[in-house]
Structure 1
Amino acid sequence: MKIMIAGGAGYIGSYLIPELLDRGYQVDVLDLLWFGNQLPGAIKVFQKDIYSVQEKDLEGYDQVILLAGLSNDPMADFSPAYNFIFNMAAPAYLCYIAKRAGVKRFIYSSSCSVYGYTVDQFYDENSPAISNYPYGIAKLQGEAGIIQMIDNDFSVISLRQGTVSGYSPRMRLDLIVNTMFKSAMANGEIIVNNPAIWRPILSIKDAANAYIRSIEANKIISGIFNVASGNYTVGEVGDIVRTTVGEFYH
């Protein structure tokens, strides 16, 4: 199977792609490489903007995975315009081009942020998705665009991910678990704000497994799926990090 991963040189892609290669998949990457290239040397990388992709660029691929986009609330708040361009419009555009090129499945990296600021209750895929801030709005509308393209010959899977954590060759230190580990290791302290707030946490290993299962799912499967390893308060995350880091010093 031949797969194109847009944004494949980022945090999740740099972890996922070696897993796919080990399973025998042929993988190419579409990425501007703003944050460097930590991918295996054999990977072919097309340094193109998503909006410059044409049908001919995706002909021959079985599936397309979209990992690219502005990746968090601060980035979206800093530039709402770019947020809506790349998180709302780009998924629909790339999905449309992929479908016209004969691709059979489109997998989208969505976010639990589509549910907005939630209270102490569980949310499943049928819960109201009502976000009032730029990042969540754009991710939700990005989903809406691609879901419209599902038909008997074209599968669309959207993964509403929790906050991803863990080591990747292209590391991100702005994510709650990762930044706490960095602070604990480098400064000997962890700053915990709003300890009672609940966060769905997703290990990068589980994230990669979710993409692999999506790739391998029956061709008739389409839809939106929540993906998380567990739910923790910010205070609980801090306690886990403190205990884990403390073990390194015994």
Structure 2
Amino acid sequence: MRVLLTGHQGYLGSVMAPVLQAAGHDVVGLDTGLFAGCLLGPAPVDPPAFDVDLRDLTDTHVQGFDAVVHLAALSNDPLGSLAPEITYEINHRASVRLAHLAKEAGVRRFLYASTCSVYGSGGADLVTESAPLRPLTPYAESKVRVEDDVAAIADSGFSPVFLRNATAFGYSPRLRADIVLNNLVGAAVLTGQVRVMSDGTPWRPLVHAQDIAAAFSCALTAPIDRVHCAAYNVGTEINNVTVAQIAATVADAVPDSRVVISGEAGPDPRSYRVDFSAIRGAFDGYEPRWSVADGAVELYQQYIRWGLTPARFAEHYTRLAHLETLKAAGKLDSTLRFERIGAEHG
């Protein structure tokens, strides 16, 4: 299958591209390279790719593909809150336009990376895909809008699937440190403290980047009549954990570290536990392999192996800080476009 993978140089894309290639797919990437330099360890071997902003796509970029796997987005809540209008422009409008272009080009499958944060505050019960969507941030709201708008154009020739990823964790050659487990392990390595800014009580569903990639790989080949226009939570119930439990797991993985729950950020309204049974039923043989404890050990080992430094942790692996650094250096304009955007390469 010939697959267009948007965001292939991001945190998840750098893990997913080789997984899809190993499954036998012909993968072509699409990315501007905003986060291509956020490396921890050697740079991965990227697939051939289009160097183009998602907002500037034309029909030529989607011609000749059997499927689109759409990961590209401004991908964390602080950034979305800082620049909500750009978040909607990229995450919502450009994503929906991509779906329309793909449909017009005859692309049959469209896999969309949504998020479990669409559920907002889910209460004590496990939330399923049929639960009310209560997004609390511009990032999560943009995901809900794309799901609605893309579902509206689904038909017998265009089959979207919405994969609502739990909060990702784990090593990627292009690292993110502004997601909870990755952040806490990094802080423990650098400072000896597993510092929790909230009171530690919110629930978070977590899933390893490799397990997300495996879910997308399964979705590409699942019978269309089984998964057409369906949403699936991506993760596993054993990784429904509180932030305090995550912190304790990190302290177990990082020698000579200790948990500090400061509570200085106040209560966090984003708290939810998620039911993941639907994806196991839809995708034969799919079962996430990584526990939170496994991920904490992996991250500790990789941080030590590649010499994590405070500067890179704070500036390169945090999305908001990295973009602000690029803007300060004159490389990005106010709309988060590179001052010079290249053409097709690879």
Fold shared by both chains (TM-score > 0.5): yes
Q: Is the 8 A contact 2:7 2:70 kept in 1?
A: yes
Match of residue 235 from structure 2: 228
Match of residue 16 from structure 1: 16
What are the ranges of 5 or more consecutive residues in structure 1 without an aligned counterpart?
none
User: How many Å separate the matches in 2 of 1:122 and 1:105?
Assistant: 29
Q: Is the 8 A contact 2:10 2:35 kept in 1?
A: yes
Q: How does 1:12-51 map to 2 (within 5 A)?
A: 12-36=12-36, 38-41=43-46, 43-51=47-55
Match of residue 212 from structure 1: 217
Q: How does 1:108-119 map to 2 (within 5 A)?
A: 108-119=112-123
Per-residue Cα deviation, 1:169-210 (whole angstroms, up to 9, x for no partner): 111011000001101111111012221110010111211111
Per-residue Cα deviation, 1:155-174 (whole angstroms, up to 9, x for no partner): 10111111100000111011
Q: How does 1:76-95 map to 2 (within 5 A)?
A: 76-95=80-99
Q: Is the 8 A contact 2:2 2:66 kept in 1?
A: yes
User: How many Å separate the matches in 2 of 1:58 and 1:80?
Assistant: 27
TM-score (norm 2): 0.69
| Number of matched pairs | 248
User: How many Å separate the matches in 1 of 2:199 and 2:104?
Assistant: 47
Q: Secondary structure at the match of 2:181?
A: helix
Pick aligned residue for 1:159 from 163, 170, 174: 163
- Structure 1 stretches (4+) deviating beyond 4 angstroms? none
Match of residue 71 from structure 1: 75
- 1:143–1:236 Cα change, 3 Å: same
Q: Secondary structure at the match of 1:225?
A: strand
Q: Is the 8 A contact 2:111 2:162 kept in 1?
A: yes
Letter matched to residue 103 of structure 1:
V
Match of residue 4 from structure 2: 4
Letter matched to residue 191 of structure 1:
R
Q: Is the 8 A contact 1:149 1:156 kept in 2?
A: no
Pick aligned residue for 1:169 from 173, 176, 179: 173
Indicate the structure (1 or 2) with the bigger Cα radius of gyration.
Answer: 2
Match of residue 249 from structure 2: 240
User: How many Å separate the matches in 1 of 2:126 and 2:193?
Assistant: 31
Shift of 1:119: 2.1
1:107 maps to 2:111: yes
User: How many Å separate the matches in 1 of 2:13 and 2:130?
Assistant: 28
Deviates more, 1:75-84 or 1:51-60: 51-60
- Greater RCO (CA < 8 Å, at least 6 residues apart): 2
What are the ranges of 5 or more consecutive residues in structure 2 without an aligned counterpart?
38-42, 256-296, 302-346
Letter matched to residue 211 of structure 1:
F
Match of residue 182 from structure 1: 186
Letter matched to residue 197 of structure 1:
P
- 1:147–1:39 Cα change, 3 Å: farther
Match of residue 277 from structure 2: none
Q: Is the 8 A contact 2:113 2:164 kept in 1?
A: yes
TM-score (norm 1): 0.94
Per-residue Cα deviation, 1:40-77 (whole angstroms, up to 9, x for no partner): 15x11211112222222211100001101110110100
Match of residue 152 from structure 2: 148
Per-residue Cα deviation, 1:4-35 (whole angstroms, up to 9, x for no partner): 01111100110011111222211011100011
Pick aligned residue for 1:139 from 129, 137, 143: 143
Q: Is the 8 A contact 2:55 2:90 kept in 1?
A: no
